[in-house]
């Protein structure tokens, strides 16, 4: 079976608050992730702080275009939760991606959802 795309969804709970709230850490994370999963970044990551009107949702949102699609994420200031998606038409190692997430955010739990899209 031929696949057109690979989509890894990581729902991370209770990460290190200082790391989750640090724009420098988030930028370092995505640069390391791109390197470790053998992708090619297109430009710098876009990182903005959103939802400041809602303490339960406020945090940084990330978009990093890669040659084969994108990496996105939202990092919640209050809880330390992180929601990270990697979508690519080029395959990548799930365990490597999880390892980089663990290194940069130290979540207590990661729920993994992995989807493949057929050509």
pLDDT per residue over 29-86, tens digit each?
999 999 999 999 999 999 999 999 999 999 999 999 999 999 999 999 999 999 999 9
Query: What is the mean predicted confidence (pLDDT) over 16-33?
Result: 98
Q: State the Cα–Cα distance between residues 94 and 42, nearest whole angstrom.
A: 21
- Residues spanned by the domain of 105: 3-118
Residues sharing a CB contact under 8 Å with residue 6, sequence separation 6 or more, in sequence order: 86, 87, 88, 89, 90, 91, 92, 114, 115, 116, 117
Give yes or no for residue 119 having a pLDDT over 80.
Answer: no
CATH number of the domain at 78, please: 3.60.90.10
pLDDT class of 2 with cuts at 50, 70, 90: confident
Q: What is the distance in angstroms between the CA of the first residue and the CA of the last residue of the chain?
A: 9
Looking at the 3D structure of the chain, how many domains does it have?
1
Give yes or no for residue 1 having a pLDDT over 80.
Answer: no
* Mean pLDDT of the chain, nearest integer: 96
pTM for the full predicted model: 0.95
Give yes or no for residue 103 having a pLDDT over 80.
Answer: yes
Q: Are 32 and 51 in contact (CB under 8 A)?
A: no
């Amino acid at each position: 079976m031929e696949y057109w795309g690979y989509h890894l969804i990581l729902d991370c709970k209770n990460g290190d608050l200082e790391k989750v709230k640090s724009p420098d850490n988030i930028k370092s994370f995505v640069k390391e992730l791109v390197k470790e999963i053998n992708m090619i970044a297109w430009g710098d990551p876009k990182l903005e702080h959103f939802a400041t009107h809602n303490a339960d949702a406020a945090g940084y949102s990330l978009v990093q275009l890669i040659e084969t699609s994108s990496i996105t994420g939202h990092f919640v200031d209050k809880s330390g939760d992180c929601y990270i998606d990697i979508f690519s038409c080029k395959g990548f190692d799930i365990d490597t991606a999880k390892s980089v997430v663990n290194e940069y955010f130290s979540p207590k739990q990661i729920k993994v959802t992995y989807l493949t899209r057929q050509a």
